[in-house]
Chains A and B, each alone.
Chain A
Amino acid sequence: MKKYFVTLLVLLSAGFILNGQSTDKLVSSCVMNAGPNCKYLKDFRIQLAKAPAPGEMRYKAQMSLWKNTKYKFSMCTADDSKGELILTIKNDANQVVLSSYDQKTGKTYKSVELTCNRSGIYHLSYDFRDGQQGSGVGVVSMVK
């Protein structure tokens, strides 16, 4: 029994390590593919199980964005994800500034550029489309 338990533990650890490595690869490729005029600022690493019911976006973060700066938000989804990574940004008055998912057309954008004209703290929400399971990376860069 003890032997099985140890084997299980080793397999689980290996799984975690492999998972970590693939996330790192995804982060690197997402950073490198942001674009030629982009300079890396931050990344958000998202891993979510399937939502019990579709609803609010689940991964929340906030960051300051500054006037007179052009930002690029890139979304990279791991191959084994069931849904595509999407992003919505709201200002501190809870108004939507941008969304990478157009509900009217059903189109998902892999990146969105924002020309920021109002300095402040913004709320970023990430999820996978339709509350699906997935892992992915959201990279924020400055555009020159």
Chain B
Amino acid sequence: MSGRSFLAFILLLLLSCACRNSSNKKAEFVFPEADTIPIGEAEKLSAEAIDEIAKNITSPVEIANLLQVLAVPFSPDYLASSIDANKQATSFEKALTLGILGADLGYLNMYEKTGSSIDILSSIRKLAEGISVGKFFDFETIKRLSLNKSNLDSLLFLSIDSYEQIDKYLRENDRGQLSALMIIGVWIEGQYLATQVMTEYPDPVLRDRIGEQKIILNDLIMLANPYCNRDPEFGALCRDLQDIKEKFRDIRITYTLGEPVSKEVDGALVVEQTETSQVDMTDEQLAGIIGITKSIRNKLIANN
């Protein structure tokens, strides 16, 4: 592709995005074709773009919060308890598992099952040390806060902040592939948790949240793209993400536009959006997502 054709392609891509955002009463989210940009081009993602993508990935804490709001009881069965940190041999395995266990830690913290999180914390420390980022994980303080059950806010802050510092350090030190793996691990485990709960406690709000992941899935794929040819393990993971994407392709997310309503309550500003999003997903599509998520997540933790 010549430079001029490539520029024209980018311009068309931008125009198509702009059209998507026009002020029609209804708009629809479609997968941008950006992920089909050749891998060499995706490698040129700026540090800022990667940082933004990382921030867009749903926090497992948000999923766990939703489960609590829906009064779903805690279950240890959803956790990746079979993971043995000592058996994670490669940096690929360590980083991906670090992400998976990070999501589990978020779930345990939110349900205040902090006493049971000590084993997971030990594994996280081992894995973090295994990829030389142990110094960012304040194990002793997190453990103390977990055992004391004293301050959930401090615990959430320290756990999330440790992961963000690890992620930042890896990206700043040319180990972006490990940062991407960690983020993918967090997302897959969060999605596994949501889909497994959905099979036991079906709920329309949770169902929508699962379908809405289409919004960020493309970003996740873009994050992985630069490393897909790096080694066979990464290549297989990229194919897994594409398989997940296929299951989301025909899910429709539409938006009804509206002005936000603001009011002052006791001196604080409270805003309610009248703009809404709707997810159209058939039972078959949902079953497809549940199935692929389970199969990929279980494959990723199978080497234990």
Interface residues of chain A, those whose CB is within 8 Å of chain B, are: 27-28, 31-32, 34, 38-43, 61-64, 66-69, 91-94, 96-98, 100, 109-121, 142, 144
Contacts and interface: CB of A to CB of B under 8 A. Distances in A.
Contacts of A110: 268
B162 to A, nearest CB: 13
B268 A112 contact: yes
A117 B68 CA distance: 19
B268 A115 contact: no
B252 to A, nearest CB: 13
A66 B61 CA distance: 12
A117 B276 contact: yes
A132 B261 CA distance: 29
Contact of A28 (B23, B157, B262): B157
Contacts of B68: 144
A21 to B, nearest CB: 15
Interface in B85-112: 110
Nearest to B29: A120
Interface in B250-304: 253, 255, 257, 260, 262, 268-277
Interface residues of B, number: 46
A7 B137 CA distance: 33
Contact of B269 (A28, A66, A98, A120): A98
Contacts of A115: 270-273
B57 interface: yes
26 contacts: A28-B154, A31-B157, A32-B154, A34-B153, A38-B153, A39-B61, A39-B65, A39-B152, A40-B156, A61-B55, A66-B58, A93-B257, A94-B21, A96-B260, A109-B269, A113-B271, A115-B271, A115-B272, A117-B274, A118-B273, A118-B277, A119-B208, A119-B212, A119-B215, A120-B255, A144-B68
B172 to A, nearest CB: 15
A27 B153 CA distance: 12
Contacts of B243: none
B269 A31 contact: no
